[in-house]
Every structure is written in C-alpha cells, then in structure tokens.
Amino acid sequence: MITVTFIGSDKNAGKTTAFNHMYGALYEKTKSVCLTSTGISGDRIDAFYGHPKPDILIRKNSYFITATERLSDKKKDYSPIIELKAPDFSKSYMFGKSIRNFKLVLEGPNTKKELLLMKDVIRTNMEKTILMIDGSADRQFVAHPAISDGFCFSILISENPRSMERTRAFLVPFSLSACPVCIRKPIILNLEDGKRSLLLDENFQEVYAGRTVPFQDKALYSHLKKRKHRKTVLYINGALSPSLFSYLRSYDRLTVVLDNFTLYQTIPTESHSSRFHPALHLLHKAHINGIFIRDTTPTGDKRHSVHIPQGIPVCDLFRDTAKTIQKMMTPLTGNLIKHCKGSDRHGPVAH
C-alpha cells in the first residue's frame, strides 16, 4: 500500500480540486484507489468566490472509507466491504466499493490509532492499493511515516498579506534538513509512547523526557536553562510555538529536532529570518510528491513570490495549460502506480 496525504496551506487553497484531479488521473490508470479523510473533508463554500466548493465524486468501482451516517441515502450506490466500529473506532465507518458514480462527503478516522487500524483493514482486503487521504496540517499525526508515505500540498497565493504570511510559513519546514543519523538513532532508542519532548546530553544520554505540551512544560524550560552553554539535543513532538521559538533563539549549542513538518506551522517567516542560533532538523522529513498552486491574484503570476524547494513538481490547476498539467501529472501518477505494484511496504514514494 502507498498512502498519499493532501494538505492545504490555508482554506480555499485548492486542496479538493487537487485531490479530485489526482484521483481522476490515477483512476484512468488503475482502479486500486481508496479515498478517505481525517475528519470531515472541508468547508462547503469557497471563501474567495462565494460559490460551492467541489464535491468528491466517487467513481464506479472505486474504494472509500467514510462515516456510515454519510451513506444513509446512498445504499444503492455502493456495496459494503466491512464496517469499522466500536470498540476499535470512536464512531462507525464504512469501507465500501462504489457501484456507480456518486458524490460523497468523506469523513474518515481522526486519530493516529484509528488511521493505523484503518490501514490494516484496507491492507487485509486489498493486496495493493493507493490510499488517498484528504488531510489537514493541524492533524499532526498524518506526518508520521506509518500514516503517510508522501504528500501533495496545495498552496494559496493571494493579495492578502496575512494569507501570504501563512503560505510562506507553511513552506519553510520543507527546506529543513533531515536529522543526522548520529542524532536520529539515540532519539529513536529513547522514544516511548506519550513522550512529547526529549532532552539528550553531549553523549546522547537522556537528561529529561516530557509528556506535556513542550511550550507549556516548565520542567523542560528548567532543564534547558541549566544546559544553555552545553551541547544538547532537544527533540519535540509538539508545536514549536512562537514563545518556545523565541526562548530557544540564543541557544547556540543546541540542536532542535522536530518530529515532523506540521510542528513548525505557527512560526512567522519574519521570526525565521531573524537569527536562530540552534541547528534545526526534522526527525521525519516529508516526502513531497507535488505542489498545487492556486494563484488568486489578478495577473496570476505570483508563484515566484514564495520559496518552493527545488526538485518538486509544481503546477497551477486553475491557470496552467492542460499540457503543462499533464507534464506534471503523468510521471507523478506513473511513479505512484509503479511503487504500489512493486511493493506493499511502508516507505517514501520516489518522484
């Protein structure tokens, strides 16, 4: 199984359009596609233009998982495979296969534990499949490698300064390097369920482990203060909040390791551009399959105003020509199908 999660930089960034487009492109090549979401899949109205946002059209012979209650009037549109319910799930979800084309609101499991259980069910019933998750950056668990093998991001480019600030901040962590192996190994060895922070000394021995939100953990701050002038590693599995970011700014002997990219989203880019002395890495670096731009500016040529890491396929589904879009989508979908057929293991999806 290959899992690709879709995340938007902001509301109305075009995530549903990108999700539908990728699904349609994959559907033309393989019917082994399963759709779900983390929670309910988005708002119903486009904030920029005021018209209804696009629905998810489930195509004939496709697979999906959604809350059972979403299917109350669609019993003739699908055949059930298995119902996921208590005690393993907080509510009832249906794993089904469509009999015909029909529109559906996706509402899938909304916790890491339930998503992992859901993936086990899919894997048991479908030997090879591409799982597409309509996700959200505030669901930090989607960045765990056991959940997502790769990501497609939708970013909004507009004339709204606050919106552009969110977009730039959203892109910053994708330029961060992966955690060096010499640091990664001791972090992994010391991690246990429930640990939100981990402090290691110069010999990579555990100094402190916190189980509360890092930026609210007074004991963590106390231990950090004692080690300000000593070589230290700080692992964080919680938001790197503006307050914690500012506190750590002057720690020039500190290496900060964020569990994943979603933990950086609250940092304004002007703060990032100011001198931050600690080295900053990601324990789980996101594999980006592609970035979809929605440029709502009058000229539609502002993609140069944001920094997109090199080597990542990019297109604007709203403005680019069909030929340009196809040039991005053909190798992208081809590689996903190739990796799905060639392996049923967890692991990053190559471009």
Residue 215, CB-side half-sphere exposure with 13 Å CA sphere? 15
Q: In the chain, what percentage of residues exceed pLDDT 70?
A: 90
Residue 312, CB-side half-sphere exposure with 13 Å CA sphere? 22
**127 vs 190, residue with greater confidence:** 190
Residue 351 in this model has a pLDDT that exceeds 50: no
Q: pLDDT digit string (tens) for 274-299?
A: 678 999 999 999 899 999 999 999 88
Q: Which amino acid is at 195?
A: K
Encode burial over 69-85: b for 16+ CB neighbours within 10 A, e otherwise. ebbeebeebbeebeebe
Do the Cβ atoms of 283 and 184 come closer than 8 Å? Answer: yes
Q: Which amino acid is at 294?
A: R
Q: Residue ranges of the alpha helices (H) in the chain?
A: 15-27, 112-125, 161-171, 181-190, 218-226, 242-248, 269-273, 322-342
Distance of CA 166 to the CA centre of its chain: 16
Q: How confident is the model at residue 347 (pLDDT cuts 50, 70, 90)?
A: very low
- pTM (predicted TM-score): 0.86
Distance of CA 123 to the CA centre of its chain: 21
Residue 342: exposed, middle, or buried by beta-carbon count in 10 A (0-12, 13-18, 19+)?
exposed
Do the Cβ atoms of 267 and 163 come closer than 8 Å? Answer: no
> Over the chain, what is the mean pLDDT?
88
Q: Which amino acid is at 243?
A: S
Residue 207 in this model has a pLDDT that exceeds 60: yes
Q: How confident is the model at residue 270 (pLDDT cuts 50, 70, 90)?
A: low
Q: How far apart are CA 263 and CA 289, in angstroms?
A: 20
Which of 234, 195, 193, 238 lies closest to 214, judged by CA? 238
The per-residue pLDDT for 303 is: 81
Q: How far apart are CA 148 and CA 143, in angstroms?
A: 6
In the beta sheet, which residues pair with residue 33? 130
Q: In the chain, what percentage of residues exceed pLDDT 90?
A: 65
The CA-based dihedral angle spanning residues 87, 92, 98, 99, taken in that order and rounded to the nearest 10 degrees? 100
Min mean pLDDT across 11-15, 133-137, 280-284, 342-346 is at: 342-346
Domains for the chain: give ranges and CATH numbers.
2-174+285-342 (3.40.50), 177-282 (3.40.140)
